[in-house]
């Protein structure tokens, strides 16, 4: 007897429920199931999610604050090369009776004085210390840019993978719903046959058990959607608003680069490697600063203002007052403190060079692994694409054979299971390939520069 191609009563109820949950769109990537009376989730495409990650991700915000801190440090170091101005004022009154005996009344013992002056201090020569500090601070600004790129690229990598996880969870949920619906249709068919006298109670019981066994997978897949959406929301830094992903799991269109090209690009583009090289430049400037710690410096100092001196019951004078001079400071022996600091700075510089070599070796290994992962995922996607087509054809043949009585119900179930497994494996393979491509771009330091799939 021919299997009913349309859903029975229970099947129709399930389809309506799936439509209300917003998941029956399948590969169109519709919204995930609504959760009670909660407000509607913000539906995002991949491009929108990546853009939002750069705007709201908390690690990116922290990197921007670090950049502001470094900008403040640069202003602080640059201030040492600029004139230092100050306004100084004071008023005092004192009495010293010993002046009577010492000068026999020539000078009054009580005096009152007041002054208001502007002071200037300007470094003229510091043996390269100020210049090196300014250069180091300017390099620090560039390292802040590298730090921002590091966190931005990490956010793009994580959000892209989380976005694919949401799409995969939806696809697997749809497959679980389809499997449950298929089992419900077989149950309806068994009941119709039983009513017609062509099926036994065993057939109905077996169909009911199959339906009940299919329900837990639907529940698990629905929960997986919720978990993946929560993770995406966390990575996006969105608060008070649920998010959802829309799109398809498709293999990236652009080919991935070979290993040699990937290593070359990574050594030029990786922000962490660029940051390390800039820190080496900063360390070189620190060596100069510490080496000049016991060298002379020359400063210009001057004051200009007004002073008032009043000897009580005697004389009083007031008027303009100024002073100017060039001063030399030469700490020619500081207990070898400067030599010790310079030795530490040189050791730190050598350590950074070792870290650079280690990082380049690590990047080469990472590129090799990422390229191999891309190749493996791509081949799996190609292989499974043909498997899905063959499994669907096998299911059609099994159902047609069951209609003519040459195939058993077990063979139809096996064919249906093969289709579901093939589609599920293909969806996972597409997700793995997409994540592998994004990971390769992140390792190369170019993520965000090529258009996302």
pLDDT digits (tens, 9 = 90+) for 129-164: 899 999 999 999 999 999 999 999 999 999 999 999
Residues paired with residue 398 on neighbouring β-strands, in sequence order: none
Give CA–CA dist 160/165, Å, rounded: 9
Nearest to residue 280, comparing CAs of 372, 169, 143, 386?
Answer: 143
Give CA–CA dist 388/393, Å, rounded: 9
**Tell me, what's the pLDDT at 20?**
37
Which percentage of the chain shows pLDDT scores above 90?
Answer: 59
- Beta strands of 191-345 (E only): which ranges? 243-245, 297-311, 316-329
Which percentage of the chain shows pLDDT scores above 70?
Answer: 89
Give CA–CA dist 85/70, Å, rounded: 25
**Tell me, what's the pLDDT at 280?**
96
Give 54's pLDDT tier (boundaries 50, 70, 90). very high
Between the alpha carbon of residue 357 and those of residues 276, 277, 287, the distances in Å are 10, 11, 21
Task: Report phi then psi at 204, rounded to 5.
Answer: -65, -45
Beta strands 84-95 and 110-125, pairing class:
antiparallel
Give CA–CA dist 409/390, Å, rounded: 19
Give CA–CA dist 36/39, Å, rounded: 9
Radius of gyration, CA atoms only, the chain: 39
Question: Token digits for 140?
Answer: 């620090």
Compute the average pLDDT of residues 158-183: 94
Q: What are 8-47's pLDDT values in tens digits?
A: 444 444 443 344 344 334 433 444 444 444 568 899 999 9
Q: Which helix H or strand E contains 86, and what residues bound it?
A: strand 84-95
**Helices (H) then strands (E): counts for the chain:** 10, 6
CA atoms within 13 A on the CB side of 259: 12
* Count of Cβ atoms closer than 10 Å to residue 111 Cβ: 17
Give CA–CA dist 369/373, Å, rounded: 6
H-assigned helices in 237-336: 259-269, 271-291
Task: Report phi then psi at 319, rounded to 5.
Answer: 165, -175
**Tell me, what's the pLDDT at 452?**
40
Give CA–CA dist 365/362, Å, rounded: 5
Give this prediction's pTM.
0.77
Could you write out the DSSP letters of every residue in 72-120?
A: HHHHHHHGGGS-EEEEEEEEEEEE-THHHHHHTTSS-SEEEEEEEEEEE
List CB contacts of 277: < 8 A, sequence separation 6 or more: 356
Domains plus CATH for the chain?
249-290+349-453 (1.20.1600.10)
What is the residue whose two structure tokens read 């043949």? 397
C-beta of residue 126 within 8 angstroms of C-beta of residue 87? no
Helix (H, G, I), strand (E, B) or coil at 43: strand
CA atoms within 13 A on the CB side of 145: 8
Give CA–CA dist 438/446, Å, rounded: 9
C-beta of residue 299 within 8 angstroms of C-beta of residue 326? yes
**Tell me, what's the pLDDT at 111?**
86
Q: What are 213-239's pLDDT values in tens digits?
A: 999 999 999 999 999 999 999 999 998
Whether 72 shows a pLDDT value over 50: the answer reads yes
C-beta of residue 52 within 8 angstroms of C-beta of residue 253? no
C-beta of residue 4 within 8 angstroms of C-beta of residue 188? yes
Question: Token digits for 293?
Answer: 């710690």
Helix (H, G, I), strand (E, B) or coil at 327: strand
Q: What are 248-259's pLDDT values in tens digits?
A: 887 666 788 999
């Amino acid at each position: 007897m021919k299997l009913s191609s349309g859903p029975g009563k229970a099947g129709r109820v399930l389809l309506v429920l799936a439509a209300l949950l917003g998941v029956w769109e399948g590969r169109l990537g519709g919204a995930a199931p609504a959760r009670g009376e909660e407000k509607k989730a913000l539906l995002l495409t991949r491009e929108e999610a990546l853009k939002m990650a750069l705007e709201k991700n908390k690690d990116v915000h922290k990197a921007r604050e670090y950049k502001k801190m470094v900008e403040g440090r640069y202003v602080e170091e640059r201030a040492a090369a600029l004139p230092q101005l100050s306004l100084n004022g004071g008023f005092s009154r004192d009495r010293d009776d010993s002046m009577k005996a010492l000068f026999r009344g020539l000078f009054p013992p009580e005096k009152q004085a007041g002054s208001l002056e502007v002071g200037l201090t300007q470094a003229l020569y510091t043996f390269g210390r100020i210049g090196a500090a300014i250069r180091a601070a300017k390099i620090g600004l560039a390292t802040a840019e590298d730090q921002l790129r590091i966190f931005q690229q990490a956010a793009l990598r994580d959000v892209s993978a989380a976005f694919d996880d949401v799409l995969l969870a939806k696809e697997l949920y749809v497959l679980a719903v389809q499997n449950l619906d298929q089992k419900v249709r077989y149950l309806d068919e068994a009941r119709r046959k039983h009513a017609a006298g062509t099926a036994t109670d065993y057939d109905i019981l077996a169909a009911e058990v199959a339906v009940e066994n299919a329900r837990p997978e639907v529940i698990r897949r629905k929960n997986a959607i919720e978990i993946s959406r929560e993770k995406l929301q966390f990575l996006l830094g969105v608060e008070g608003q649920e998010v959802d992903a829309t799109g398809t799991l498709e293999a990236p269109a652009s080919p991935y680069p070979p290993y040699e090209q990937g290593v070359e690009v990574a050594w030029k583009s990786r922000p962490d490697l660029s940051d390390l090289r800039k820190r080496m430049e900063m360390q070189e400037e620190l060596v100069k600063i510490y080496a000049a710690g016991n060298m002379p410096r020359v400063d210009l100092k001057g004051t200009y203002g007004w002073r008032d001196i009043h000897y009580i019951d005697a004389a009083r004078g007031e008027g303009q007052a100024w002073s100017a001079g060039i001063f030399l400071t030469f700490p020619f022996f500081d207990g070898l403190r400067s030599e010790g600091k310079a030795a530490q700075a040189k050791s730190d510089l050598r350590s950074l060079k070792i870290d650079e070599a280690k990082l380049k070796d690590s990047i080469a290994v990472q590129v090799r692994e990422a390229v191999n992962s891309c190749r493996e995922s791509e081949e799996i996607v190609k292989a499974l694409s043909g498997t899905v087509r063959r499994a669907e054809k096998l299911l059609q043949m099994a159902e047609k054979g069951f209609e003519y009585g040459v195939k058993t119900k077990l063979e139809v179930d096996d064919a249906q299971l093969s289709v579901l497994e093939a589609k599920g494996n293909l969806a996972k393979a597409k997700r793995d390939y997409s994540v592998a491509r994004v990971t390769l771009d992140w390792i190369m330091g170019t993520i965000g520069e090529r258009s996302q799939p």
